[in-house]
């Protein structure tokens, strides 16, 4: 039960982060404070998920590995042994409940992973949007070169004009 609550909490964290990311990706002007808060939230989410993963991975692994022999024994009893009908139905219900819980657990963890991947993709979109592109940097360097060229030309012209004016007098 605690595992499902923690997974739901992680799901809520990733949903909130993804909503903030989607809003910032669509926004034209983004403040540095908003980006800083967003990165702090993403860092908190990743650290939280990592802490929960470190704790729950051993428990989950031991439950899965421990249940394989039990599941094999129950399936063998259901298919190959002559059992009373109430025992057969009880074992069938037990294996069905177990497989349903296993499926739900894997589905919830996969949903959290899916939302984390979505937040990564949104962060990448935001990064691409905010980083200066190489084309703009080249244009900026080219325009700086043109401006400096014209400054040099103007200085030469001003010197020539000044020297021209002095030579006539």
Question: In this predicted model, what pLDDT tens digit does every residue of 85-102 receive, in sequence order?
Answer: 999 999 999 999 988 988
Q: Is residue 114 pLDDT above 70, yes or no?
A: yes
Give yes or no for residue 151 having a pLDDT over 60.
Answer: yes
Tokens linked to 30:
């983004």
Half-sphere exposure of 48 (CA within 13 A, CB side): 17
Residues 28 and 94 in one domain: yes
126 and 137 inside one domain? no
CB atoms near residue 162 (< 10 Å):
10
Residue 155 is predicted with a pLDDT of 59
Range of the domain at 156: 133-169
Residue 72 sits in the same domain as residue 155: no
**Structural domain total, the chain:** 2
Are 140 and 67 in the same domain? Answer: no
**Is residue 103 domain-shared with residue 141, that is, in the same domain?**
no
113 and 141 co-located in one domain: no
Q: pTM above 0.85?
A: no
Same domain, 25 and 87: yes
Let me know whether 29 and 111 are in one domain: yes
Looking at per-residue confidence, does 52 or 28 come out higher?
52
Q: Considering only residues 144 and 169, tell me which one the structure prediction assigns the higher pLDDT.
A: 144
Query: Which one-letter DSSP state was computed for residue 84?
Result: -
């Amino acid at each position: 039960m605690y595992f499902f609550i923690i997974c739901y909490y992680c799901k809520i964290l990733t949903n909130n982060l993804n909503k903030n990311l989607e809003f910032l990706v669509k926004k034209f002007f983004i403040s540095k404070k908003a980006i800083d808060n967003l990165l702090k939230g993403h860092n908190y989410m990743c650290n939280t998920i990592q802490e929960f993963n470190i704790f729950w991975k051993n428990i989950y692994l031991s439950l899965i590995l421990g249940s394989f022999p039990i599941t094999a024994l129950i399936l063998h009893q259901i298919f190959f042994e002559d059992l009373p009908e109430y025992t057969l139905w009880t074992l069938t219900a037990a294996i069905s409940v177990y497989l349903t819980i296993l499926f739900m657990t894997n589905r919830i963890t996969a949903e959290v992973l899916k939302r984390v991947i979505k937040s990564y993709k949104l962060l990448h979109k935001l990064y691409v949007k905010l980083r200066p592109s190489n084309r703009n940097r080249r244009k900026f360097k080219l325009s700086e070169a043109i401006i400096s060229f014209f400054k040099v030309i103007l200085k030469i012209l001003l010197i020539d004009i000044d020297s021209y004016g002095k030579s006539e007098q």
